[in-house]
Amino acid sequence: MKLLRIMCLFLCVTLLLCGCAPASDPADDPSDSTGSSESTGTTESTGTTESTGAAKPDVLNKETPKSLKVLAIGGSFSQDALQYVYQIAEDAGVEEIVLANLFSGGATLDAHWDFAQADEPTYDYYKNTEGNWPSPKKIRLSEALVDEQWDYITMQQNSGSSGKSDTFGALSNLIDYVRERNTTAQLVWHMTWAYQADCTHSEFPLYESNQQKMYDMIVDCVHECILTEPRFSFVIPAGTAIQNARTSFIGDTLTRDGFHLNKQIGRYIAGMVWYAALTQSSIDDISFNPAKLAITDDMIKVAKEAAINAVANPYEVTQSAFTESAK
């Protein structure tokens, strides 16, 4: 009888312990797709990668801004890129648009810094407030920085030096100068494009006259000199958008002289990626076409695809799905 009581007591204790054991936490179950996990720089199912200075395609759904005011400290490459941004933004529904290009042909970062220190009216100032680019006036950098309540101020390196990290020494000083005079605008880096494969530009041999090598070196410079500079808000990956489009049926035909973008589809692609990167809003419904005889509907599809893929993957080439034109 005593033995029976002991056995019953043992059984009760066992049942009690089992009933108090903690239930497993669903978050600990690796098979639970709703559980959260520490970010490792990639997402599991969206196909996007960690943001490195530009928007992901799944965030190109911000509302169209009411205003877009951009000042570019640049030259001919910013001139190419800005050519159609006004019309693209207008088509998207932006109500107030002010674009300006501080133009100094072939200017390096060192040259821009020299101009800043001299504080002389060195630049040709192209300002677009109504959809056209009127004749420029001469202006100082210091004047342009306060000419408008800029949303964005962009900078770039001379195209031939864009992949040479040892040419970026003046960048920090130039940023200091801009920030002392304008504390509100976001600073943005314009990543320029590699030359056409058959380009005869005098600086192409710095990259062994190899387009892919030039593109890779431009990307390396962005990683080394721009993404390490916290005062830049993000990068406009124009160089990647152009490289993406080169994998389409359009091919390596986007320049007019081997390095400047042509006035049709080349500049249109650059304008698309500028608008997408600056606003992070959709470009799907934009219908503006600057040259309907030269730019087909298929080309517009390539331009949008190239821009979206560039903001998704700013520092690697994405193969186009449009390898053949429907014609």
And the tokens for 206?
A: 């710095």
Three-class SS state of 285:
coil
154 phi/psi in degrees, rounded to 5: -105, 150
For the cut 80, the answer to whether the pLDDT of residue 231 exceeds it is: yes
When divided into structural domains, the chain yields a total of 1
Is residue 286 domain-resident? yes
127 phi/psi in degrees, rounded to 5: -130, 125
Predicted confidence band at 58 (pLDDT cuts at 50, 70, 90)?
A: low
Is residue 253 domain-resident? yes
Identify the H or E element spanning 110.
helix 109-118
Is residue 276 domain-resident? yes
pLDDT for 126-161, tens place per residue?
A: 999 999 999 999 999 999 999 999 999 999 999 999
For the cut 70, the answer to whether the pLDDT of residue 54 exceeds it is: no
Predicted confidence band at 61 (pLDDT cuts at 50, 70, 90)?
A: confident
> Could you tell me the strand order of the sheet in which 123-128 lies?
137-139, 123-128, 96-103, 67-74, 152-155, 186-190, 232-236
Predicted confidence band at 327 (pLDDT cuts at 50, 70, 90)?
A: low
- DSSP annotation of 177 reads H
Is residue 319 domain-resident? no
Is residue 214 domain-resident? yes
For residues 276 and 119, what is the distance between their CA atoms, to the nearest angstrom?
33
And the tokens for 300?
A: 């517009």
Average pLDDT over residues 161-165: 98
Per cent of the chain over pLDDT 70 is 81
Is residue 89 domain-resident? yes
Average pLDDT over residues 280-307: 96
Determine the angle formed by the axes of helices 265-279 and 297-312, rounding to 10 degrees. Answer: 40
Count of Cβ atoms closer than 10 Å to residue 288 Cβ: 16
Is residue 321 domain-resident? no
Nearest to 281 by CA among 93, 147, 144, 154: 93
Per cent of the chain over pLDDT 90 is 80
Is residue 208 domain-resident? yes
Predicted confidence band at 4 (pLDDT cuts at 50, 70, 90)?
A: very low
242: domain CATH number is: 3.40.50.1110
pLDDT for 85-131, tens place per residue?
A: 999 999 999 999 999 999 999 999 999 999 999 999 999 999 999 99
97 phi/psi in degrees, rounded to 5: -130, 125
CA–CA distances in Å: residue 51 to residues 48, 235, 266, 277: 9, 11, 26, 12
The secondary structure of 180-230 as a DSSP string is HH-SSSEEEEE---PPPTT---TTGGGGTT-HHHHHHHHHHHIIIIITT-T
- DSSP annotation of 255 reads B
pLDDT for 170-214, tens place per residue?
A: 999 999 999 999 999 999 999 999 999 999 999 999 999 999 999
CB 268 within 8 A of CB 295: yes
For residues 232 and 174, what is the distance between their CA atoms, to the nearest angstrom?
12
pLDDT of residue 51: 34
> Of the ranges 22-36, 48-62, 227-241, 308-322, which one carries the lowest mean pLDDT score?
22-36
pLDDT of residue 325: 80
pLDDT of residue 191: 98
pLDDT of residue 100: 98
Nearest to 238 by CA among 282, 260, 271, 264: 271
pLDDT of residue 59: 56
Domain of residue 218, residue span: 59-312
218 phi/psi in degrees, rounded to 5: -65, -45
pLDDT of residue 18: 39
How high does pLDDT run on average in the chain? Answer: 86
